[in-house]
Amino acid sequence: MFGIGTTEILVILVVALIVLGPKSLPKVARTLGKGLAEFRRVSTDFQRTINTEIALDEHEKEKKAAEKKIFGDENSKAEAKSSPETAEAQPVQEPTGNLAVAPDNAEPQPAAEPVASTKTEKEPA
């Protein structure tokens, strides 16, 4: 542990006993143990978070590489069309008229009229 042998630990304990006294030594040891446990917990949590982020980043890179390998240039062209820089240059076409969605071979037909409410309001007398 920390490169300290048993003889060094015994010397440290004897010096601590002399300096702190036998009554306060258990309190100091308990506080020191709690502090070290908290440090280890935070250190482990931090390391776990870093490893998770690295694994997630590698997964995203592998996913992009696989998509690029499968779709080739088609995917990169689609990304170029949908990028914000090119979106400003291309006009957005808004739907015109009140048309329902129909198959490609069918003629456009008007959408259904809105359904009237079944509630009848009473007119004030």
Instruction: Report yes or no on 102 lying in a domain.
Output: no
Instruction: Report yes or no on 113 lying in a domain.
Output: no
Is 80 exposed, middle or buried, given 0-12, 13-18 or 19+ CB atoms closer than 10 A? exposed
Considering only CA atoms, which of 111, 81, 114, 119 is closest in space to residue 95?
A: 111
Instruction: Report yes or no on 124 lying in a domain.
Output: no
Structurally, how many domains does the chain consist of?
A: 1
Question: How far apart, in Å, are the Cα atoms of 84 and each of 64, 71, 73, 79, 87?
Answer: 19, 22, 19, 10, 5
pLDDT at 87 over 50: no
Instruction: Report yes or no on 122 lying in a domain.
Output: no
Q: 0.75 cut: is pTM over it?
A: no
pLDDT at 8 over 60: yes
Q: Which residue has the higher pLDDT, 13 or 44?
A: 44
Instruction: Report yes or no on 57 lying in a domain.
Output: yes
Considering only CA atoms, which of 119, 98, 124, 117 is closest in space to residue 109?
A: 98
> Residue 99 pairs with which residues in a beta bridge?
110
Mean pLDDT of 15-28: 87
Instruction: Report yes or no on 62 lying in a domain.
Output: yes
pLDDT in tens, 31-77: 989 999 999 999 999 999 999 999 999 999 999 998 888 887 565 55
pLDDT at 3 over 50: yes
Instruction: Report yes or no on 14 lying in a domain.
Output: yes
Q: What amino acid is encoded at 70 in this protein?
A: I
pLDDT given for residue 77 in this prediction: 57
Residue-range definition of the domain harbouring residue 32: 6-86
Instruction: Report yes or no on 37 lying in a domain.
Output: yes
Q: How many CB atoms lie within 10 A of CB 43?
A: 10
